[in-house]
Amino acid sequence: MTYNFPVLKDHTRRATSGSVHRSLSLLPFVLLACMHAAGQSVVTDWNAIGITQARASTAPGASSAGGGNVYIAYEALAVYNAVVAIEGKYQPYKYTVTAPAGASSEAAAVEAAYRVLAYLLPDRAVQLATSYTASMAAIPDGQPKLNGQAVGLASAENLIALRSGDGRGVPWPYSYPSSPVLGCVDADPGRSGSGHAVDRANDAVHVR
């Protein structure tokens, strides 16, 4: 049986609204349902790795709450499509990847996560490579592993191409009220975010 992955398939490329962020936050749980029990730790491990490395990165907005969510969402989407290509059950997001029979979903997940995060967070290359080597070492060598890596790489490359030009890292000009306004929610003045890829309402905000 094939299940549709809700909300994501009908949204445009601008992942900015609160509903999109809430939907993307469910991705790790969907991935856990998609993978067999032995491979679920790979998803949770790389979700944690992504969060840790994004917070430590100097990439635009990566260390902020809203900006970091975008980076992790991109990683999770690449992993999601790689795993779905192998395991089935759900509808892929925006693009499809061909997977050879018997490909390792664990290897695919690790490869997809690593490639996307290494692209988005180049200043964390050493730390990500260390985690990648450790994760791959835990997966038995053989053709299933090699095929899984190829699927993960293809998914990462597709996701990176899909999200190019989305405004990530572009300054978002905004004029703040000169005096407090009832019901006005402002992003912290002067703080650098991740541009158009992050909705101000989902970033670190305060009500004055």
Specify whether the CB–CB gap between 72 and 121 falls below 8 A. no
Mean pLDDT of 111-126: 97
Confirm whether 84 is domain-assigned. yes
Q: How confident is the model at residue 26 (pLDDT cuts 50, 70, 90)?
A: low
Which secondary structure element, helix H or strand E, spans residue 205, and what is its range?
strand 205-207
Residue identified by tokens 């061909």 is: 98
Could you tell me if residue 195 is inside a domain?
Answer: no
Q: Is residue 178 part of a domain?
A: no
Number of domains in the chain: 1
Quick check: is 207 in a domain?
A: no
Q: Can you give the CATH number for the domain in which 78 is found?
A: 1.20.144
User: Does 199 reside within a domain?
Assistant: no
Quick one: pLDDT at residue 13? 38
Residue 103 structural domain: 8-162
d(CA 47, CA 45): 6
Residue 155 lies in a domain: yes
For residue 121, is it within any domain?
Answer: yes
pLDDT tens track for 126-171: 999 999 999 999 999 999 999 999 999 999 999 999 988 877 767 6
Tokens 């009500």: give the residue: 207
Mean pLDDT for the stretch of residues 58-77: 86
Closest to 201 measured CA to CA, from 18, 8, 15, 72: 18
Q: How far is the CA of 42 from the CAs of 45, 79, 158, 184, 200, in angstroms? A: 5, 10, 21, 42, 32
The CA dihedral of 149, 132, 141, 31, to the nearest 10 degrees, is -60
Does 194 fall in a domain? no
pTM of the model: 0.70
